[in-house]
Amino acid sequence: MITVEEAKHIILQNTQDFGVEEIPFLDSVGRVLKEDIVADRDFPPFNRVAMDGIAINYRFFQYGVRDFKIEGVQPAGSEQEAMINASNCYEVMTGAVLPENCDTVIRYEDVSINTLMATVNIDEITEGQNIHYQGKDRNEGDILIKKNTVISPSEIGVLATVGKSKVKVAKLPKVMIVSTGDELVGVDKNPEAHQIRRSNVFTLVSLLNELKIPSEIEHLTDKKEVLQQKITSFLNDFDVLLFSGAVSKGKFDFLPEVLEELGVEKLFHRVSQRPGKPFWMGQTDTCKVFAFPGNPVSTFVNCLVYFYPWYYKSAGVKQQPQTAILTENVSFKPDLTYFLQVKLTTENGQLFATPIKGNGSGDLASLVEADGFIELPKTEEAEFKKGEVYPVIRFR
Amino acid sequence: MITVEEAKHIILQNTQDFGVEEIPFLDSVGRVLKEDIVADRDFPPFNRVAMDGIAINYRFFQYGVRDFKIEGVQPAGSEQEAMINASNCYEVMTGAVLPENCDTVIRYEDVSINTLMATVNIDEITEGQNIHYQGKDRNEGDILIKKNTVISPSEIGVLATVGKSKVKVAKLPKVMIVSTGDELVGVDKNPEAHQIRRSNVFTLVSLLNELKIPSEIEHLTDKKEVLQQKITSFLNDFDVLLFSGAVSKGKFDFLPEVLEELGVEKLFHRVSQRPGKPFWMGQTDTCKVFAFPGNPVSTFVNCLVYFYPWYYKSAGVKQQPQTAILTENVSFKPDLTYFLQVKLTTENGQLFATPIKGNGSGDLASLVEADGFIELPKTEEAEFKKGEVYPVIRFR
């Protein structure tokens, strides 16, 4: 049995580059950018009027002029006008090009307009005010968004501005999610007394959807021949297999055995953690196999703790670890890393983690009350005190 | 001009219930649940074996028996067996029904199996151990997920378990996003010197996508007649209109005027904030109109500060406010609420906000470096000190 740290290390040593694809920029939120996005021209691309008002030549204001004849109007979206008489003014609109011979903008609020004449009503203005100068934010050729950024709505506007209607992103692995366990029936079925409905595969589908990874699902019966035959074809057709169940010590937990028989190299089996201990991990040249234990909380936490970081590192993303403050003492006897379900709240800029009183790894419903797992390290003391800080894995 | 608090208050007083629709449960992540999800039977539905091993009758262990004849096997997914001889044992698998006449499970790790006999190798066991008793987690009829929960992957497993293949969620408003501004050209176009590409509408589309709200987009020229005609039909066809631009004091900022002429009741115009001051808000009986200023950062922050909470409250969701700790002194003269772009980091369970040195509301590219906005209150002092805590609006 290896530790959580060892398991993470092995998994992150075995990431895989799935290549790059080009997709429409509006579909790219949540995907990982695989090119630097560069300014195609200066930002702003011209001396841009930043307030509705009048544009003047500051010199004349300085000379004491307060009445400026309105020579013309420069709307946004029009070619640059030239003010012929430098002692005149131009009405200018936010977003417009600053007219030639103007160097200062005074907003309408500080001006009275009488048909052809603008009178400035204030005595203090600054030369160059209310102008967003060409290249002030960024210069042509500057990198605006770095490769390996996870694209969010704030990147979408930048992509649009530089004309990236298509954008290069990390290709997603092709994933098959497989449940096993003869006690499982479909969601639409009425289970017999000894049966329960399938749920883990759907949880996994939606956890992968959060990463924008589509997946297929199948259910296999706990029969060795069936497993052998189906898994052989899955190993050929998919980049990643996620299993839920059949990795423990049961008489029908054939999965590790079958996987090894089919030539899947075992990376490890069993991690010193609760929940999620019987996790089996392996790979072939073309396929990674994450075989999670079948208890709902085990599957859930292992997907977050192992699959998520594996995918992010495969795609080139550096994740920022998070921490939270325990609000209660927790004692935990077994010499295992304890992924404890917690409710997260923020107060005064601090993130607090309050343990959820779940009934163990089978207690699916407790996840509804939790926002994440706090990771309490494997230690012999196993007394974790209120106020101590530990890593936290949020899922909400 | 009203304050940010007043604007928020007015908007939250004018939320709207868009009704309920039923959708496939796997499509429901991010949607707002509009029914209580109730346990259709006990959780677990039977006395469930929680470890692979043998099931015995504890009385015999207590009497000193350590060798138990294996009477049969109870796999997961099979109907409950009955152990005929109470001094025997049954091999049982995780997820199986506990056989009749058994009350305690000993895991394989603590047992030696010799064909027909199991020998227990430990001297201490607890009556009833390794059994997940029927109804221990939840009872039939218990509410598992409350109405008005935003559905996440952790709810998906519960929905599957109780057989909710279809689920009632808040219907989404029908939204049209409109850009104005004659300086704007399409993303695929090469802008002239005085033009820029459209970007705000796409930012808004993706911000709404984060809420799972689909939207349509249009661009209108800054002509009064065009605005009048198009907006008339938008007001009829949509629940919400989001505008970007044409709400300031420019000569071509016809939007507030046109909206009022078309019978849209103005709720307010201009909020004492930076960026985003010229925000105009109004409504008809059937349509809400959010007219945001056209600067990219203004549109972005106003969507987060006003539209998001409006939508969540409309759908019945209570949001948890977040706060962060300033890492630098900030001084801000104008008597306005300041939505300052910040980079967020966590350390020791604390959330720190470091100001981004952006160049104002036109500096679209600065959003790429930010993770959120810290809300610095409107105050005459306007000196915000390192270490002070303020509300924060995350967008990443």
The verdict on a CB contact (< 8 Å) between B363 and A149 is no
Q: What is the extent of the structural domain holding A341?
A: 323-394
pLDDT the model gives residue A223: 87
The verdict on a CB contact (< 8 Å) between A300 and B351 is no
A359 vs A364: CA distance, rounded Å: 9
Assess whether pLDDT exceeds 90 at residue B379.
no
The verdict on a CB contact (< 8 Å) between A183 and B95 is yes
3-class DSSP state for residue B355? Answer: strand
Taking CA atoms, what residue in B is nearest to A47? Answer: B194
Same domain flag for A254 and A157: no
pLDDT the model gives residue A131: 96
* Structure tokens that stand for B121 in this block: 């190798």
pLDDT the model gives residue A115: 83
Assess whether pLDDT exceeds 80 at residue A239.
yes
The verdict on a CB contact (< 8 Å) between A202 and B160 is yes
Q: Is A371 left (phi over 0), alpha (psi -120 to 50) or beta?
A: alpha
A36 pLDDT band, cuts 50/70/90, is very high
Same domain flag for A388 and A257: no
B298 pLDDT band, cuts 50/70/90, is very high
pLDDT the model gives residue B247: 85
Any idea what the CATH number is for the domain that residue A357 is in?
2.40.340.10
B128-132 average pLDDT score: 95
Same domain flag for A218 and A277: yes
Helices and strands per DSSP (H, E), number in chain B: 9, 28
- pLDDT tens readout for residues B118-129: 999 999 999 999
Judging contacts by C-beta atoms under 8 Å, the chain A residues touching residue B195 are 77
Taking CA atoms, what residue in B is nearest to A41? Answer: B193
How close A99 gets to chain B, by Cα (Å)?
Answer: 11
A246 pLDDT band, cuts 50/70/90, is confident
* Structure tokens that stand for A145 in this block: 């968004």
- State the number of CA atoms in the 13 A half-sphere of A385 facing the CB: 3
How close B285 gets to chain A, by Cα (Å)?
Answer: 31
Any idea what the CATH number is for the domain that residue A157 is in?
3.90.105.10
* Structure tokens that stand for B54 in this block: 């043998």
Taking 3-state DSSP, the helix, strand and coil percentages for chain B, each rounded to the nearest 5, stand at: 20, 35, 45
Assess whether pLDDT exceeds 90 at residue B251.
no
Query: In this structure, is residue B137 part of a structural domain?
Result: no
- pLDDT tens readout for residues A158-206: 999 999 999 999 999 999 999 988 889 999 999 998 999 999 999 999 9
Same domain flag for B127 and B203: no
The verdict on a CB contact (< 8 Å) between A153 and B73 is no
* Nearest by Cα to B106 from B139, B76, B70: B70
Query: In this structure, is residue B139 part of a structural domain?
Result: no
Mutation target among B187, B369, B371, B389 for the A interface, most CBs of A within 10 A: B187
Same domain flag for A154 and A26: yes
Judging contacts by C-beta atoms under 8 Å, the chain B residues touching residue A93 are 250-253
* DSSP letter for each residue of B263-297: TPEEEEE-BSEES-TT-EEEE-SS-EEEEE-SSHH
pLDDT the model gives residue B188: 94
B272-294 average pLDDT score: 96
Query: In this structure, is residue B337 part of a structural domain?
Result: yes
Domain boundary (A132, A158, A180) is at A132
Same domain flag for B205 and B297: yes
Domain boundary (A285, A315, A345) is at A315
Assess whether pLDDT exceeds 80 at residue A330.
yes
Calculate the average pLDDT of chain A: 95
Query: In this structure, is residue B138 part of a structural domain?
Result: no
CB-closest option in B26, B137, B197 to A365? B137
Any idea what the CATH number is for the domain that residue A219 is in?
3.40.980.10
pLDDT the model gives residue B365: 84
- pLDDT tens readout for residues B164-192: 999 999 999 999 999 988 889 999 999 99
Share of chain A above pLDDT 90, in %: 88
Same domain flag for B387 and B369: yes
Same domain flag for A178 and A91: no
Judging contacts by C-beta atoms under 8 Å, the chain A residues touching residue B161 are 196-197, 199, 364
The verdict on a CB contact (< 8 Å) between B46 and A194 is yes
Judging contacts by C-beta atoms under 8 Å, the chain B residues touching residue A202 are 25-26, 156-157, 159-160
Backbone angles phi, psi at A224, to 5 degrees: -55, -45
CB-closest option in A78, A202, A323 to B194? A78
Query: In this structure, is residue B140 part of a structural domain?
Result: no
B363 pLDDT band, cuts 50/70/90, is confident
Assess whether pLDDT exceeds 80 at residue A360.
no
Same domain flag for A36 and A54: no
B362 vs B296: CA distance, rounded Å: 6
pLDDT the model gives residue A9: 98
Biggest CA–CA distance in chain A, Å, is 96
Same domain flag for A33 and A126: no
Judging contacts by C-beta atoms under 8 Å, the chain A residues touching residue B366 are 137
Which stretches within chain A are classed as H helix? 4-13, 58-62, 153-161, 200-209, 224-237, 255-261, 296-302, 308-315
Same domain flag for A12 and A25: no
A67-74 average pLDDT score: 96
Backbone angles phi, psi at B167, to 5 degrees: -140, 145
CB-closest option in B93, B350, B359 to A349? B350
Assess whether pLDDT exceeds 90 at residue B246.
no
Is B271 or A251 the better-scoring residue by pLDDT?
A: B271
Instruction: For chains A and B, count residue pairs whose Cβ atoms are closer than 8 Å.
Output: 334
Backbone angles phi, psi at A63, to 5 degrees: -70, -10
Mutation target among B37, B185, B206 for the A interface, most CBs of A within 10 A: B206
Judging contacts by C-beta atoms under 8 Å, the chain A residues touching residue B249 are 52-53, 107-109
Query: In this structure, is residue B300 part of a structural domain?
Result: yes
Same domain flag for A24 and A166: yes
Q: How many domains does chain A have?
A: 4
A77 pLDDT band, cuts 50/70/90, is confident
pLDDT the model gives residue A250: 79
pLDDT the model gives residue A291: 96
pLDDT the model gives residue A357: 83
pLDDT the model gives residue B183: 86
Assess whether pLDDT exceeds 80 at residue B361.
no
The verdict on a CB contact (< 8 Å) between A195 and B77 is yes
A89 vs A119: CA distance, rounded Å: 10
The verdict on a CB contact (< 8 Å) between A323 and B351 is no
Is B48 or A253 the better-scoring residue by pLDDT?
A: B48
Cα distances from A384 to residues A120, A337, A340, B94, B350, in angstroms, run 68, 12, 11, 30, 19
Assess whether pLDDT exceeds 90 at residue A18.
yes
Taking 3-state DSSP, the helix, strand and coil percentages for chain A, each rounded to the nearest 5, stand at: 20, 35, 45
CB-closest option in A94, A182, A323 to B348? A323
Q: What is the complex's ipTM, to 2 decimals? A: 0.93
A96 vs A258: CA distance, rounded Å: 69
Query: In this structure, is residue B218 part of a structural domain?
Result: yes
Any idea what the CATH number is for the domain that residue B75 is in?
2.170.190.11
CB-closest option in B95, B137, B359 to A136? B359
CB-closest option in B181, B187, B346 to A323? B346
Is A115 or A130 the better-scoring residue by pLDDT?
A: A130
A86 vs A199: CA distance, rounded Å: 75
Assess whether pLDDT exceeds 80 at residue B359.
no
